């Protein structure tokens, strides 16, 4: 082969190599990454997934045990049509397992509308099912949730993992956190409302927070240290309810701080979804077990209730005692008001 022919062959090889490189660069860099724009998001599919898997773990994704909240929200977004693999925080299954990683994706990559509010502020009116909320405290963003429905008054309800939740209220979530960041993704909003029960007026929130009186064995004190829960089963024990009437009951339990400042509250409702929660109390200190109780009112007569005590560490981690049930008696006929 002559020198000229060798030159021609090498030139053709060089052109072929550069053509391949340019084609790869065009597809990888110049073309938009699919599924990153909020315009590809179908919130209805995300909500359907959220309701299907709120208390289960999808084997197609990696499980993160007791820290599965961001992973679950990521799966909802993926079901809705978003591509999370572009995030450096994504795992091998394409999900994001940390709240900070999910925050970065929603804020920087997806460019969602973001609001940050305190526990005393009402959620933004623009929130829709399919949007996301991440709750936090002095340690940063700690608990990711998915907005799955709206109450009759327009306020959002949340699904979550770790402590599995289906349509829980924001007041329950703020028993453990001090602020929240909302991420508005939905461009073509859907309205998924919760139908009020027949006995509930249309102007009343579906999940109301009844009046509660609480008491503990130690006065409330300002927390001074940041600690983590040990996760021992005897740290929060639910005891039988007492003083049960047709409209009220005293919830009882024992809390063991185990050497760290510890808050506590009760959650209760007509099922193990626990639609209500008392205000958090404490902190309790030391190593002894404290008897705690809370009077809950505005109960329904003749209704079976579930209740359990929840221990709250100062880093926001929760440990629940076992579920206990009690029955509110029917209202005595002599107490009923009869009108002609």
DSSP, res 46: H
For residues 260 and 228, give the distance between their C-alpha atoms in angstroms, rounded to a whole number.
Answer: 8
Supply φ then ψ for residue 308, to 5 degrees: -155, 155
Position 59 confidence tier, pLDDT thresholds 50, 70, 90: very high
Lowest average pLDDT, out of 29-33, 42-46, 203-207, goes to 203-207
For residues 51 and 41, give the distance between their C-alpha atoms in angstroms, rounded to a whole number.
Answer: 17
| CA nearest to 186, candidates 81, 87, 75, 39 | 39
What pLDDT is recorded for position 3? 53
pTM for the whole structure:
0.53
For residues 248 and 297, give the distance between their C-alpha atoms in angstroms, rounded to a whole number.
Answer: 4
For residues 301 and 118, give the distance between their C-alpha atoms in angstroms, rounded to a whole number.
Answer: 36
- Mean pLDDT over 178-196 rounds to 67
Q: Are 168 and 157 spatial neighbours (Cβ–Cβ below 8 Å)?
A: yes
pLDDT in tens, 190-222: 444 443 434 333 332 333 333 344 443 333 322
How many angstroms separate the most distant Cα atoms in the chain? Answer: 118
For residues 41 and 301, give the distance between their C-alpha atoms in angstroms, rounded to a whole number.
Answer: 45
Q: Are 157 and 167 spatial neighbours (Cβ–Cβ below 8 Å)?
A: yes
For residues 324 and 310, give the distance between their C-alpha atoms in angstroms, rounded to a whole number.
Answer: 12
Position 224 confidence tier, pLDDT thresholds 50, 70, 90: very low
For residues 194 and 157, give the distance between their C-alpha atoms in angstroms, rounded to a whole number.
Answer: 9
For residues 99 and 122, give the distance between their C-alpha atoms in angstroms, rounded to a whole number.
Answer: 22
What pLDDT is recorded for position 177? 81
Neighbour count for residue 332 (Cβ, 10 Å): 9
For residues 120 and 134, give the distance between their C-alpha atoms in angstroms, rounded to a whole number.
Answer: 16
Residues of the chain by 3-state class (helix, strand, coil), percent to 5: 20, 30, 50
Q: Which residues pair with 20 in a beta bridge?
A: none
Count CA within 13 A, CB hemisphere, residue 19. Answer: 6
Q: Are 94 and 34 spatial neighbours (Cβ–Cβ below 8 Å)?
A: no
| CA nearest to 248, candidates 194, 205, 204, 307 | 307
Q: Are 62 and 93 spatial neighbours (Cβ–Cβ below 8 Å)?
A: yes
For residues 261 and 174, give the distance between their C-alpha atoms in angstroms, rounded to a whole number.
Answer: 18
Residue 43 pLDDT more than 80? Answer: yes
Domains of the chain: 38-184 (3.90.1720), 212-327 (2.60.40.10)
Quick check: bond before 283 cis, omega within 30?
yes
What pLDDT is recorded for position 310? 87
Cα–Cα distances in Å, from 49 out to 148, 163, 208? Answer: 10, 17, 26
Sign of CA dihedral 70, 100, 169, 156: negative
Instruction: State the helix-helix crossing angle for 69-79 and 43-52, rounded to 10 degrees.
Output: 140
Q: What is the DSSP string of 55-118?
A: TS--TTS---GGG-HHHHHHHHHHHTT---TTSTTB-TTS-B-SHHHHHHIIIIIS--EEEEEE
Residue 161 in 3-state DSSP? coil
pLDDT in tens, 78-118: 999 999 999 999 999 999 999 999 999 999 999 999 999 98
Round the average pLDDT of the chain to a whole number and report it: 77
- Mean pLDDT over 54-82 rounds to 94
What the block records as the tokens of 101 is: 């990683």
């Amino acid at each position: 082969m002559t020198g000229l022919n060798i030159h021609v062959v090498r030139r053709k090889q060089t052109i072929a190599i550069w053509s391949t490189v340019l084609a790869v660069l065009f597809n990888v860099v110049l073309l938009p990454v699919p599924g990153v724009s909020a315009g590809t998001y179908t919130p209805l599919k995300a909500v359907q997934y959220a309701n299907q898997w709120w208390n289960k773990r999808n084997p197609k994704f990696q499980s993160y045990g007791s820290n599965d909240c961001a992973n679950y929200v990521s799966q909802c977004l993926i079901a809705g049509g978003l591509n999370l693999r572009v995030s450096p925080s994504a795992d091998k299954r394409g999900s994001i397992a940390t709240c900070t990683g999910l925050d970065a994706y929603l804020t920087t990559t997806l460019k969602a509308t973001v609001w940050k509010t305190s526990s005393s502020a009402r959620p933004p009116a623009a929130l829709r099912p399919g949007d996301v909320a991440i709750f936090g405290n002095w340690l940063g963003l700690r608990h990711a949730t998915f907005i799955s429905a709206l109450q009759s008054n327009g306020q959002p309800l949340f699904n979550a993992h770790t402590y599995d939740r289906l349509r829980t209220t924001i007041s329950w979530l703020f028993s453990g956190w001090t602020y929240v960041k909302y991420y508005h993704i939905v461009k073509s909003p859907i309205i998924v409302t919760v139908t009020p029960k027949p006995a509930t007026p249309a102007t009343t929130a579906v999940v109301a927070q009844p009046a509660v009186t609480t008491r503990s064995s130690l006065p409330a004190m300002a927390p001074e240290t940041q600690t983590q829960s040990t996760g021992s089963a005897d740290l929060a024990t639910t005891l039988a309810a007492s003083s049960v009437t047709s409209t009220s009951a005293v919830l009882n339990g024992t809390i063991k701080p185990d050497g760290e400042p510890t808050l506590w509250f009760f959650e209760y409702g007509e099922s193990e979804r626990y639609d209500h929660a008392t205000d958090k109390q404490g902190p309790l200190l030391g190593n002894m077990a404290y008897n705690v109780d809370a009077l809950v009112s505005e109960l329904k007569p003749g209704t079976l209730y579930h209740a359990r005590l929840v221990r709250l560490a100062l880093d926001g981690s929760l440990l629940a005692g076992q579920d206990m049930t009690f029955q509110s008696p029917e209202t005595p006929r002599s107490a009923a008001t009869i009108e002609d």
